[in-house]
């Protein structure tokens, strides 16, 4: 800053070691009667790292305000200095702990065993699980889930009645177009194809006069193609569509059995434009 000088005090350094490692450097700041300017000038001059320690705090106290003299103190400690999120930041948190679902079809039948040895007096059920005379009971399996939240420190001027209405309208909707979110902490971009992302809602409120802290919650499920169920090949399934199988009686090797004869893929969530969230960028499909 013009006209302000910052000078380290001779013999003004202190270094502590042992269980608590820290350091302190003292300065004289001259040339301003404003404490904010004095503290800012100190921050411009004092090193951010000293002897492997990270600058933690810096402060000034008046010696002679009329003469523009201040005593400055800079303290250093172990580790990285905490950098608080600022307005406009989009901070990612995630959770990949699994869920579960009930299935009636296996990915692949690995073995069939019966009386008299392999494939003796047995039936091929086309991957159906838990087949009885009247039904297909299936089983519970664990599934991977990608649940995540992006906390957006939204500038106050972006928080409008229309945007709040969009938060409500889009909750429990799936993205109709591709959608990308550029996070700042960490600096990564999350990109999803159309129909892969379910918006679970938003929570938050004012953080200061200048911004709002909103946590946008999502769950992702990938689109799939080329699924085969029994003898039915090449089935496509959008990430948040629901797939179910119709079974019918069929004549097996030794009895009447249940086999998959029809696969339905159902849309169970409405799709909408996630660009209205004000969080990311949509990418409509090419013509």
Q: What is the pLDDT of residues 33-42, one digit of tens each?
A: 999 999 999 9
C-alpha distances in angstroms, 239 versus 52, 120, 193, 267, 275?
Answer: 49, 39, 9, 10, 19
What pLDDT does residue 25 have? 96
pLDDT at 187 (0 to 100): 93
Cβ-based neighbour number of residue 200 at 10 Å: 15
Q: What is the mean pLDDT of residues 74-90?
A: 79
In the chain, what is the greatest distance between 2 CA atoms, to the nearest angstrom?
A: 105
Residue 14 lies in a domain: yes
Q: Specify the number of domains making up the chain.
A: 1
Residue 116 is assigned to a structural domain of this protein: no
Q: 151 in a domain, yes or no?
A: no
Containing domain of residue 16, as a range?
5-77
Would residue 63 count as lying in a domain?
Answer: yes
Per-residue pLDDT tens digits for 206-233: 988 899 999 999 999 999 999 999 889 9
Tell whether 91 is covered by a domain.
Answer: no
Q: Is residue 262 part of a domain?
A: no
Q: What share of the chain is helix, strand, coil (3-state, %, to 5)?
A: 10, 50, 40
Alpha-carbon span 33 to 35, nearest angstrom = 6
Beta strand 271-272 with 173-175 is parallel
Domain membership of residue 272 (yes or no) is: no
Domain-located, residue 143: no
Mean pLDDT of 159-175: 96
């Amino acid at each position: 800053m013009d006209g302000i000088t910052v000078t380290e005090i001779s013999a003004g350094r202190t270094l502590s070691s042992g269980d608590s490692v820290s350091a302190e450097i003292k300065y004289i700041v001259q040339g301003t009667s404003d404490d904010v300017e004095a503290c800012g000038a100190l921050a411009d001059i004092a090193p951010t790292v000293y002897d492997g320690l990270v600058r933690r705090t810096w402060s000034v106290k008046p010696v002679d305000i009329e003469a523009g003299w201040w005593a400055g103190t800079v303290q250093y400690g172990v580790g990285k200095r905490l950098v608080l999120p600022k307005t406009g930041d989009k901070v990612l948190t995630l959770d990949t702990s699994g869920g579960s679902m009930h299935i009636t079809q296996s990915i692949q039948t690995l073995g069939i065993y019966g009386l008299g040895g392999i494939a003796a007096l047995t039936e091929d059920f086309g991957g159906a699980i838990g087949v009885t005379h009247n039904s297909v009971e299936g089983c519970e399996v664990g599934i991977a889930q990608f649940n995540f939240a992006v906390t957006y420190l939204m500038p106050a001027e972006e928080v409008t009645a229309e945007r709040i209405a969009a938060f409500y309208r889009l909750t429990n909707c799936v993205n109709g177009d591709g959608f990308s979110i550029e996070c700042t902490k960490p600096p990564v971009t999350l990109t999803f194809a159309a129909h892969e992302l379910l918006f679970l809602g938003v929570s938050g409120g004012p953080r200061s006069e200048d911004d709002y802290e909103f946590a946008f919650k999502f769950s992702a499920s990938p689109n799939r193609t080329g699924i085969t169920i029994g003898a039915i090949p090449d089935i496509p399934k959008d990430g948040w569509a629901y797939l179910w199988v119709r079974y019918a009686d069929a004549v097996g090797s030794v009895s009447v059995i249940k086999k998959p004869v029809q696969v339905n893929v159902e849309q169970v969530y409405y799709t909408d434009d996630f660009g209205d969230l004000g969080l990311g960028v949509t990418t409509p499909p090419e013509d």
